[in-house]
Amino acid sequence: MKTTPTLGQVLQARGVSRRGFLKYCATTASLLALPPTMVPRIAAALENARRPSVIWLSFQECTGCTESLTRSASPTLEGLIFDSISLDYHHTLQAASGEAAEAARHAAMEENMGSYLVLVDGSIPLGNPGFSTIAGISNYDMLMDTVAGAAAVVAIGSCASFGGIPGAYPNPTGAVSVRDLVTDKPIINVPGCPPIPMVITAVLAQFLTFNQLPELDKLGRPKAFFGQTIHDRCYRRPFYEQGLFAESFDDEGARKGWCLYKLGCKGPITYNACATVKWNQGTSFPIESGHPCLGCSEPDFWDGGGFYKPVSTGDFGSGAALAGAAAAGVALGVAAAAVSRRRQAKTIKEG
């Protein structure tokens, strides 16, 4: 295996001061949803970390996940590539093409056998190998060949994590997720359509910092980002607790920023970090723009019965899920008047 410099050595060679390094560590801690008190430990670990080789495979996808990553603010993609990881293959971003690109992939695999990371965006078609190929290689063959020597696989986006839009009814290509095919490697799912860029980079930063995979939920998602629902962390939650809902996109409730549950918000059943990490360098997220959450980081979100139907009327679950969410609110000590409860119950019942 080739010897690569540590991140501390790379930054020192570039003249980055210790203050700059501490700043980098502070933003990394924030990225990993770790308490700021962890900064010294992160600094010690990062200083001795070596850049992992990363191979990125793109299958049945729209390039939205790569677009998302290139908008990651901290660290910047440029910084991530040059300081934190060695991005050895990504057919959208790399300069090489054709046989040279495939040669780069094989070289990275051989040089880093057993220690490289494979990132996958897009689902894999099983209906016909010709539905999606790269350099004449079917997506299935390329995936299985590449993951054989990997330390772990990160499925980027809902397509790679759960099948996504290609896998939506009637699934004409027989699209499946990475986890449907790879069973002998650790897999981290980072769903979303697209995923939040900071979450993508945070997973890589976690691997780099602690040389271990993050704690995952039952769907293989990092708990640090997918441990709570959008609803749990939504700034409009107080209105839900008061039973105040927007009924249409231009009524008084919409103008006053009330809860979007009745307009189909899937926040109560969607696990993601949009409400806190936000989008576009932390500017806002869909609910802040007045639009309900679509639930894009959940399996089969496209087939859930309508983006603008309340949760209790679609195939996302029953009113019981909402009742559970409401109960959680009480447990958190969020007071609500009895009249609000009645309005809330009425809303769930009516859908």
Partner 1 sequence: MTSLDRIGVQAEPLYGNVTPILYEVAHALDRLLEQAEPTIIDLASLPFAPGELSQLEGVLGTGEIAAELDALGASHIRETAFPGVWWLEHHNTAGEVVGRYLEITRTPQILMSQDADISAGRARLVDQLEGESPDSTNGAGTSAQT
Q: What is the contact surface with partner 1 in residues (CB under 8 A)? A: 16-20, 22-24, 26-27, 29-30, 33, 35-37, 73-76, 79, 233-238, 256-257, 275-277, 281-282, 284, 288
Nearer residue to partner 1 within complex by CB, 166 or 268: 268
The sign of the dihedral angle between the CA atoms of 167, 91, 105, 114 is negative
Closest CA to 117 of 91, 79, 155: 155
Nearer residue to partner 1 within complex by CB, 134 or 334: 334
Nearer residue to partner 1 within complex by CB, 180 or 288: 288
Nearer residue to partner 1 within complex by CB, 149 or 257: 257
C-alpha–C-alpha distance, residues 244 and 145, integer Å: 54
Q: Which helix (H) or strand (E) holds 329?
A: helix 319-331
Q: How far is the CB of 277 from partner 1 (least distance, A)?
A: 7
Give the tokens for residue 113.
């056998």
Q: How far is the CB of 29 from partner 1 (least distance, A)?
A: 8
Q: How far is the CB of 80 from partner 1 (least distance, A)?
A: 12
Q: How far is the CB of 35 from partner 1 (least distance, A)?
A: 8
Nearer residue to partner 1 within complex by CB, 51 or 179: 51
Q: How far is the CB of 298 from partner 1 (least distance, A)?
A: 20
Q: How far is the CB of 271 from partner 1 (least distance, A)?
A: 15
C-alpha–C-alpha distance, residues 233 and 59, integer Å: 33
Buried b (16+ CB within 10 A) or exposed e, 75-108: bebeebbebbbbbbbbbeeeeeeeeebbebbeeb
294 contacts 268 by C-beta, under 8 angstroms: no
Report the amino acid identity of residue 7.
L
Nearer residue to partner 1 within complex by CB, 25 or 154: 25
Nearer residue to partner 1 within complex by CB, 27 or 340: 27
Q: How far is the CB of 223 from partner 1 (least distance, A)?
A: 14
Distance of CA 124 to the CA centre of its chain: 18
179 contacts 220 by C-beta, under 8 angstroms: yes
Look at strands 175-176 and 124-125 and give their pairing: antiparallel
Distance of CA 262 to the CA centre of its chain: 26
Q: What are phi and psi of 271, to 5 degrees?
A: -95, 115
